[in-house]
Amino acid sequence: MGTTASQLGKDMLSEYQELTFLTKQEILLAHKRFTELLTKDEKDLPNTRVSEERILTLPELKSNPFRKRICHVFSTSEYKDGSLTFEDFLDLLSAFSDSATLEIKSHYAFRIFDFDDDGTLDCGDLEKLVNCLTGETDDTRLTTEEMRQLISNILEESDIDKDGTVNLSEFQHVISRSPDFVSSFKIVL
Amino acid sequence: MASEPQSPGLREVYDYTEGNGYPGDQQSLRLRRVSSRVSNQNHPQFDCSSTSTPEEEDEEGDSGPPRDIRATALPMAVKRAVRQVQQMQVPVVSRRESWKRKNTKTLRKLKESGRGVLSFFSLWSKTLQKIGGNFGGGVQSFFLFLRFLVVLNFVSFLLIAGFVLIPSIVFRSVEASVVNSTGPEECMDYEPNPQGLVLFYNYFLDLLSGTGFMEYSYLFYGYYNNTMVEDSKFSYNIPLAYLFTAVFYFIFCLICIIARMGTAARVVVATGGSTVGEYSMIVFTSWDYGCLGDGATKLKQKNIHYRLQVDLEEESIKKRAAALSMAQKVVLYFLRVFMCLVSFGLIIAAFYGIFAATEFSQLKSEQKGILGLFFEYLPSIAITAGNFVVPLLCDQIALVERYAPSTTVIVALLRSVFLRLVSLGVLLFTLWRQITCDGATNSEECKLCQYNHKVYPCWETRVGQEMYKLTLFDLLINIAVLVLVEFPRRMVVDNWSNKLAQWVGRQEFVVAANVLALVYGQTVVWTGALFCPLLPLINTIKFILLFYFKKITLFYNCRPALKTFRSSTSTFFFLVVLLFGWGLATVVMIYSLAQIRPSMGCGPFRFFSSMWSIVPMSFYNLSHTTQEFLFFIGSQSFSIPLFALSCVVMCYFIALASVYGKSVALLRRQLKLEGRDKQFLVKQIESLSQRHQILRHTAGAHN
């Protein structure tokens, strides 16, 4: 079961509407943009998997510093190469949509920030996260002293059980206090 | 919930929406039964998103599957499989259950299609998205605030048009007046129409100052008559409608502002008001995934970098300030007090300048021509000059005071707000002095009509004209600054690679100053709405033009500010400042309604002793039962129980808020204890396994 060619069947459409937070127009637009990424022969195959580089040519993702992590998190491929099918793409858009709940957004945000995929955010993850946020070039990074102080401040504020890492519950606890998170964790095509 | 399969990765997820409560079935090893029971009862709902699902709490068990399925963080294929399993498991439901479920489903579809239609009507949403992506949340919040004011003004205009303007137009020819009394002849002498031949350029001057052909028109109070139409099945009392529309307009604006403040305040109350701490918040939540393009991304990264640096620096400043010696502290405080006095002195000097300008303008009100126009606009010029110069000086003062950066911004803003609103107050005060002869209604000029009828035959129109001039002048100044300052500045900086030009740099879009300008403009409109009913319409057009001008200058002339406002707190702050303006306008309105005698030569209240007195008069025309009912509502036997009830309701909400805060603290403590439990268990396991291994070794050694 999958999508073929440039047609999206009515029953598939309603199924996607039930399984994601997207509206009908959003799903159709997503389908249109996804098929633009496919080559001619790929368009006839069902359930094509698009490689990461092609996904990253989308303007909404192209300059996002977390683009590789986003593709990695939503990818269902066995090779963990960040390639996405159309359904993975819909999952991505659903988590980043207007009507997605805070829980699902915070869950996926946690997984995106977890660079080593071990289920917690430790110092290495936090350091990589801050570097993504401030920019990777040398003049935009924080100094080592500032980074050390920042990470210790973060752990002091959000690590409640004092195990040196931020787990999902602690992360969601921080997120729930931020009124801006839901509106900024949004990608609209 | 037992029928729902859960993948192992989800077990640690806090499922707030499913109403599971804290996993109270898992007892802590240290037997915290009491606290877990409490947390089960006081389960908070952290519904920050607008799509919170209260309907989920009504659906028990496995009803409402689509919403639950969507909210699970699983890939699509797994979700599909789960849904299929659920559908096969659907038990026999009563007809009522399935009917209810179908209803909720159609209701949800209706809501979604309604939301789609509404988003079609939402004004400028694409533009706002573009602005937010390129310049950040702070600038976007300014434009959102501007959009809110446009809509507010437009709806108020519709209100006024419907209840005052259109009936006035329709019943223009009807001569029936409410009260037929006469007064002294001199008081009723009002000739707004210019006599004789009018020079052409006078039309232009009249357009700018609201005099001449514009004075006796629907624009100003003086044109409305005190007609009351009395038909067999229909009666319309225009003066009463005018009064009630003005009062309701103010109440309506207040409700809109408070409703908008409510969404921001709700989050603070629900989370108990305590702040988690800024660093984790910045790092985890500040990235805007809607940023498009390399430029916007780099800008956002720079913003975040700057914010983090500023916060870290502020922390080190605070540590250093706490480590100051006694002598240094004394010197610093003395400096601060001195600078405060200096800034007060500056503000008072500005007031005096405006006051003198207004007096001078009133003195020279007989001048004609361009010079006359200049003198008329003198108060506005003085106010604008003050508003430019004094904040600049206050910024320099703030540098000396050496507060922490965030405190500096707030202090500077408060000073500017104070300056802006009270400078308007000074203008109004001067006008009042002139109209009522310094409040002494027994003095020479005011004895006859209770107001200065020689200089102000129709004083309401005159006040309306002043507000009209202020509004227009504000718009013209904005356009002039745009054309004469901002565009040339950008051209100079871009094309002339001089050291000086680079140091000046491109314009920065300062959000705070622009917001204050909006608040000032809106306050002027509120003050003048009673006397110039079409002012909300003029203001709507002015704000729409301002939106486009500011957008143009933002995209072409400005470089983005490095120091950003946080969008949610800044919206709340803008609305608080707007409320100050509303308060000032309300004071003016109440005073004009109750204390000053309306002009006898013009307007719908011409034969009343005060504007408010029409209400008691019309009251006695109502039917007897209505009078009894209204008397009862105003009496003590109704209002005291009502007051007591509202106190009880307020206490309930305050108690609820504090309970939420307490349960947050409780849950945090539980989390800490859980962590320690985990470590305790791990140590136990280690020691047990060690003992087990030692036993095995010794047993093996025996054998």
Residues 24-63 of A with CB under 8 A from B: 25, 59-60, 62-63
**Among A146, A167, A171, beta carbon nearest to B312:** A146
| CA separation, residue B223 to residues B179, B193, B581 (Å) | 17, 11, 28
Q: What is the DSSP letter of B6?
A: -
Q: Are B307 and B282 in contact (CB under 8 A)?
A: yes
pLDDT, mean of residues B270-280: 55
pLDDT, mean of residues B316-344: 83
Domain ranges, ordered by start, for chain B: 102-135, 136-294+423-608, 622-695
- Interface contact B302-A135, CB threshold 8 A: yes
Containing H/E element for B237? Answer: strand B235-237
CA angle B19, A154, A74 (to 5 degrees): 55
| CA separation, residue B667 to residues A164, B22, B23, B209 (Å) | 19, 9, 11, 64
Q: What is the pLDDT of residues B193-207, one digit of tens each?
A: 666 666 777 777 777
Q: pLDDT > 70: what percent of chain A?
A: 97
Whether pLDDT at B10 is above 50: no
A186: its two tokens: 């949004």
Task: Please report the ipTM that was assigned to this predicted complex.
Answer: 0.90
Whether pLDDT at B62 is above 90: no
Whether pLDDT at A159 is above 90: no
- Interface contact A140-B301, CB threshold 8 A: yes
Distance of CA B535 to the CA centre of its chain: 20
pLDDT, mean of residues B82-94: 78
Which residues of B fall within a CB distance of 8 Å from A173?
276, 668, 671
Q: Which of B185, B131, B234, B192 is nearest to B567 (CA)?
A: B131
Whether pLDDT at B228 is above 50: yes
Whether pLDDT at A30 is above 50: yes
- Interface contact B75-A87, CB threshold 8 A: yes
| Whole-number Å distance between alpha carbons of B454 and B191 | 12
Containing H/E element for B536? Answer: helix B535-557
Which residues of A fall within a CB distance of 8 Å from B297?
63-65
Dihedrals phi, psi of B228, to nearest 5 degrees? -130, 120
- Interface contact A185-B671, CB threshold 8 A: no
Whether pLDDT at B405 is above 90: no
B382: its two tokens: 């003085």
Predicted local distance difference test score (pLDDT) of residue B196: 63
Q: At B109, is the secondary structure helix, strand, or coil?
A: helix
| Whole-number Å distance between alpha carbons of B426 and B470 | 14
Helix and strand element counts for chain A (H, E)? 11, 0
Distance of CA B285 to the CA centre of its chain: 24
Containing H/E element for B388? Answer: helix B378-401
pLDDT, mean of residues B136-157: 86
Predicted local distance difference test score (pLDDT) of residue B541: 94
Lowest mean pLDDT among B18-22, B106-110, B327-331: B18-22
Predicted local distance difference test score (pLDDT) of residue B321: 77
Q: Are B290 and B133 in contact (CB under 8 A)?
A: yes
| Whole-number Å distance between alpha carbons of A114 and A166 | 10
pLDDT, mean of residues B164-178: 74
DSSP character string of A30-56? HHHHHHHHS-TGGGGSTT--B-HHHHT
Closest approach of chain A CAs to the CA of B48, in angstroms?
A: 6
Closest approach of chain A CAs to the CA of B295, in angstroms?
A: 9
Band of pLDDT at residue A66, cut at 50, 70 and 90: very high
Band of pLDDT at residue A130, cut at 50, 70 and 90: very high
Whether pLDDT at B442 is above 80: no
Q: Are A92 and B289 in contact (CB under 8 A)?
A: no
For chains A and B, what is the number of CB pairs under 8 angstroms? 207
Fold designation for A102-185: Recoverin; domain 1 (1.10.238)
Dihedrals phi, psi of B558, to nearest 5 degrees? -100, 145
pLDDT, mean of residues B73-101: 82
Distance of CA A139 to the CA centre of its chain: 27
Whether pLDDT at A1 is above 60: no
* A189 vs B: CB within 8 A: no
Whether pLDDT at A171 is above 70: yes
Predicted local distance difference test score (pLDDT) of residue B20: 34
Dihedrals phi, psi of B227, to nearest 5 degrees? -90, 145
pLDDT, mean of residues B314-322: 77
Distance of CA B371 to the CA centre of its chain: 39
Predicted local distance difference test score (pLDDT) of residue B21: 33
Which residues of B fall within a CB distance of 8 Å from A98?
51
Q: Are A55 and A90 in contact (CB under 8 A)?
A: no
Lowest mean pLDDT among B67-81, B147-161, B651-665: B67-81
Which residues of B fall within a CB distance of 8 Å from A21?
70
Whether pLDDT at B77 is above 90: no
pLDDT, mean of residues B506-524: 83
Which residues of B fall within a CB distance of 8 Å from A95?
73
Whether pLDDT at B14 is above 50: no
* Higher-confidence position of B373 and A30: A30
| Whole-number Å distance between alpha carbons of A29 and A12 | 15
Predicted local distance difference test score (pLDDT) of residue B277: 56
Q: Are A62 and A48 in contact (CB under 8 A)?
A: no
Q: Are B51 and A102 in contact (CB under 8 A)?
A: no
Sort strands B558-559 and B235-237 into parallel, antiparallel or unpaired: unpaired
Predicted local distance difference test score (pLDDT) of residue B450: 74
- Interface contact B76-A134, CB threshold 8 A: no
Band of pLDDT at residue A45, cut at 50, 70 and 90: confident
What region does A8 belong to: left with phi over 0, alpha with psi -120 to 50, or beta? beta
Whether pLDDT at B183 is above 70: no
Residues in chain B: 703
A27: its two tokens: 């799903």
Q: Which of B286, B291, B299 is nearest to B508 (CA)?
A: B299
pLDDT, mean of residues B347-371: 80
Residues 86-145 of A with CB under 8 A from B: 87-88, 90-91, 94-96, 98-104, 107-109, 111, 113, 126, 129-130, 133-135, 140, 142
| Whole-number Å distance between alpha carbons of B40 and B26 | 12
Whether pLDDT at B331 is above 80: yes
Whether pLDDT at A168 is above 50: yes
Predicted local distance difference test score (pLDDT) of residue B50: 33
Q: What is the pLDDT of residues B626-643, one digit of tens each?
A: 888 888 888 888 888 899
B458: its two tokens: 């129709």
CATH 3.30.1330.30 fits A11-96, yes or no: no
| CATH 1.10.238.10 boundaries in chain A | 11-96, 102-185
Q: Mean of the per-residue pLDDT values for chain B?
A: 76
Which residues of B fall within a CB distance of 8 Å from A23?
112, 116
* Residues pairing with B558 in the sheet: B507
Which residues of B fall within a CB distance of 8 Å from A101?
17, 49, 51-53, 71
Predicted local distance difference test score (pLDDT) of residue B568: 54
Whether pLDDT at B410 is above 70: no
Q: Which of A115, A120, A122, A142 is nearest to A131 (CA)?
A: A142
Mutate to test the interface with B, among A13, A134, A156, A171 (most CBs of B within 10 A): A134
Q: At B447, is the secondary structure helix, strand, or coil?
A: coil
Lowest mean pLDDT among B56-60, B112-116, B554-558, B572-576: B56-60
Q: Which of B159-163, B409-413, B573-577 has the highest mean pLDDT?
A: B159-163
- Interface contact A184-B290, CB threshold 8 A: yes
B54: its two tokens: 């209260």
